[in-house]
Amino acid sequence: MALFKTAKRSEEELGGYMRARRRAFSGPLMFVVVVVAAIFVMSVFFRVEDIQVVGNKHYTAEEIIRAVDIEEGDNLFFFDRFAAVGRAFSKLPYIEAVTVERSLPNKVVITVEETEALAYLQLGDEKWTLDHNCKVLGKAAAGEEETLLPVVGMKPGTLMIGETMQTEDGGTETVEYLAEVLDQIEARGMAGDVTRIDFTNPDSPEFDYGGKYTVVLGRHDKVEYKFGMFVTVLDMLKEGDVGVIDVSSGSKAHFSPN
């Protein structure tokens, strides 16, 4: 009897051991099956079927889609949005901001913000366009410079399309100053009245305004405040006044009639 009970207990222990082994094996197996099934579902059912581009003006939707490097049939989940944004910046210099968003089950929305050419540099026989951040956008098209602000007195180094301009000596101070000046001109809606920006003296650049005034900016500080002073003086001048508006001190403005 004791022998029978021992044999029965051993059989039960063996059965329990086998069931435990099956459970230990079936757990990982089930996980693998679930993962494989999920990948299969994503690869089959989440294919890109609709690509929408929003906010584009300079570039066509097709140009942006090619730069992002996405096409119908691509897998929505395996598409690297961060790499796509990088490709757009490197290929399309007029792109200032871009986002790529997935919209399940099969749509991608590419939203872009484009910059605009604001100024140009004369380099030999060529005119190179810049945006308000001094990013080089490319060579000016025929007649395009007529709507842009000429920048004189700068000595640029190698101009790389899509990159911020650098000076001949590789410095950044003068470029940063020019960018702040361009930004103020654009933000205050002055682009149509500024006829020239002169950085011949980078320690005291100036610009011509309205065909009547030369504005002296002085050293690189308080740029926004100096433009504010310039606007205040401009409002006080009479229609026939012509001369120099000096805001270089950064604390007060002075008008010298011609």
- pLDDT per position in the chain (258 positions), as tens? 544 444 455 555 545 545 555 555 455 656 665 555 555 555 555 688 889 999 999 999 999 999 988 888 787 777 787 888 888 888 999 999 999 888 777 888 999 999 999 999 998 889 999 999 999 999 999 899 999 999 999 989 888 999 999 998 888 899 999 999 999 999 999 999 999 999 999 999 999 999 999 999 999 999 999 999 999 999 999 989 999 999 999 999 999 998
User: DSSP assignment of 50-79, as one string?
Assistant: EEEEES-SSS-HHHHHHHHT--TTSBTTT-
Amino acid at 55: G
Amino acid at 35: V
Q: What is the pLDDT of residue 82?
A: 83
Contacts of 52 (CB under 8 A, 6+ apart): 107, 108, 109, 110
Q: What is the pLDDT of residue 33?
A: 57
- Among all chains, which residue has been given the structure tokens 């504005």? 215
Q: What is the pLDDT of residue 4?
A: 42
Per the DSSP assignment, residues forming a β-bridge with 121 are: 128, 151
Q: What is the pLDDT of residue 39?
A: 54
155-206 confidence digits (pLDDT tens): 898 889 999 999 988 888 999 999 999 999 999 999 999 999 999 999 999 9
Tokens of 133: 């951040």
Burial annotation 57-95 (CB, 10 A radius, 16+ → b, else e): ebbeeeebbbbbebeeeeebeebebeebbebbeebbbbb
